[in-house]
Structure 1
Amino acid sequence: MKILTVCGMGSGSSLILKMNIDSILEEENIKADVEACDLGSVGGQSADLIVSTAELENQLSDAQAEKVFVNNVVDKDAIKKAVLPKLKS
């Protein structure tokens, strides 16, 4: 499985999301490839799951992947609750 974490510039909240998702995957013993990227690069990437902030939901509506949007990129428990169902389906 390939997961993209996305933010506007690809170096802020997407990196925090990536670190949290990497940690969640390790805790749950789930194998996946996680990559942080900027909003403009999403179209050139293939992914099974896109994780981003709620503020970018409209800009990512055309992306051809499952999507999860979170309100707080540092709230690992909220990220886990949002992402795990998608990872286990």
Structure 2
Amino acid sequence: MKILTVCGMGSGSSLILKMNVDKILGDFGVDADVEVCDLGSAKGTQADLIISTTGFKSQLEDIATEKILITNVINKEELTVALKEYFNK
């Protein structure tokens, strides 16, 4: 499974998301390739899941990949709940 964590420049909030996703997926026992990506590159990158913030919702709408959009990159609980829902469906 390939997961992209996306932000505007690909080096700020997406990096924080990647670190949190790696930790949470490790706790879940899920093996995934998590990559940091900027908005422009996300449109041309194949992935199974995109994780970003609600602030980028409109810029990511034209990408057909499933998305998890959170409000706070620091809030691990919000991300944990969203990932749990994603993997339990």
Q: How does 1:9-88 map to 2 (within 5 A)?
A: 9-88=9-88
For residue 3 of structure 2, what is the aligned residue in structure 1?
3
TM-score by length of 2: 0.95
Give the gaps of 5 or more residues in structure 1: none
Give 1:44 deviation, angstroms. 1.4
Give the gaps of 5 or more residues in structure 2: none
Report percent identity of matched pairs: 54
Question: How many equivalent residue pairs?
Answer: 89
Give 1:84 deviation, angstroms. 2.0
Give 1:51 deviation, angstroms. 0.3
Q: Distance in 1 between matches of 2:25 and 2:78?
A: 14
Q: Distance in 1 between matches of 2:36 and 2:17?
A: 8
**What RMSD over aligned residues (CA atoms) do the two structures have, in Å?**
0.8
Q: Distance in 2 between matches of 1:36 and 1:84?
A: 21
SS at match of 1:46: coil
